[in-house]
Copies of this chain bind each other. A is one copy, B any other.
Amino acid sequence: MSLSTCRIKIINGNTCQPMTANINASAQSIKFPSTEIVTVQPESGPESIESFYDEYLAIPGILEQIILDNDSDAFILACWGDPGIEAAREITTKPVIGIAEASLYVANMVAAKWSVVTTLHRVRDMVEKTIVKTGLTDRCASVRTTKLSVLDTEQDRANTLDVLLEASQLAIQTDGAEAICLGCAGMSGLEQQLADRLGVPVIDAVAAAVKMAESLVSLGTHTSKQLTYRAPERKNIKGYPAHYQAENFLH
């Protein structure tokens, strides 16, 4: 097979440009040479996702990035929560990968038990629901939340490293974690420093998702349209641009 067809669009779930740039840098550095990656952010939504409210306001804009795309071979939802992923799978036949699930699959292949280390304490329930949605609760040692806001992870890398180090050590020593999943796209790029200090695998979710997307494109596997993920029914949708109507979908 030829790699020349692999074009991946990464959608940062947050409308924060520096985070989009950071995600893009991580992705570009790990991709296979023949893969093309474009990283975007939604036109609408909160600058960071730290609550269910933020997440639900972000989703229509995230979906729009898929609706209006006609070129990509796969999509990555770059927010650890995989926001709107079931809907994303309904509106395209191309593979859609969430960075959360991708990081859990990788962790599952290198560790008997793993923990997710992430941002504000309030997101604990969101993170747990994401793990349940993926189906991998049995292998999860713990979820460790911190005092870091999403934007903190971008703006103060030294402090972020310290906080993640402390939370990860607790996960390893107290909870029995044997690998660490970084639970926020904004933490991308810190995995190597953390792994060096912790002595266990540290999974960057963005990098994991790039590999999963390349894999699915290479396999030629599309999203099942059998039942759950079939295209939405055509119907009137108020208050959204016309391209949100299913009958206007390009694909």
The complex places the Cα of A129 from the Cα of B215 at a distance, in Å, of 26
The complex places the Cα of A97 from the Cα of B108 at a distance, in Å, of 10
The answer on a CB contact under 8 Å between A172 and B226 is: yes
* A201 CB-CB contact with B under 8 Å: yes
* A193 CB-CB contact with B under 8 Å: no
A124: which of B106, B111, B176, B219 is its contact (CB, 8 Å)? Answer: B176
The answer on a CB contact under 8 Å between A236 and B43 is: no
The answer on a CB contact under 8 Å between B86 and A239 is: no
Most B CB contacts (10 A, CB to CB) among A43, A95, A135 go to A135
Least CB distance from A195 to B in Å reads 9
A159-210 interface with B by 8 A CB criterion: 172, 176-179, 199-201, 203, 207-208
The answer on a CB contact under 8 Å between A111 and B224 is: yes
Residues of B within 8 Å of A106, CB to CB, are 215-216, 219, 221
* A146 CB-CB contact with B under 8 Å: no
What count of chain A residues pass the 8 Å CB interface test?
Answer: 98
* A214 CB-CB contact with B under 8 Å: yes
The complex places the Cα of A236 from the Cα of B89 at a distance, in Å, of 28
Chain B: CB-nearest residue to A217: B211
The complex places the Cα of A112 from the Cα of B129 at a distance, in Å, of 11
Most B CB contacts (10 A, CB to CB) among A47, A101, A219 go to A219
28 example contacts (A-B, Cβ-Cβ < 8 A) are as follows A3-B32, A3-B33, A42-B239, A44-B240, A46-B236, A46-B238, A47-B235, A51-B232, A51-B233, A54-B235, A55-B87, A57-B60, A57-B63, A57-B237, A59-B59, A105-B212, A121-B227, A124-B228, A129-B133, A135-B137, A149-B233, A176-B227, A178-B227, A178-B228, A179-B226, A200-B226, A211-B219, A214-B215
Q: A52-B84, A52-B87, A135-B139 are in contact. List 11 more A-B contacts (CB 8 A).
A: A44-B240, A45-B238, A47-B236, A53-B246, A86-B112, A86-B125, A106-B216, A111-B228, A135-B135, A177-B226, A212-B215
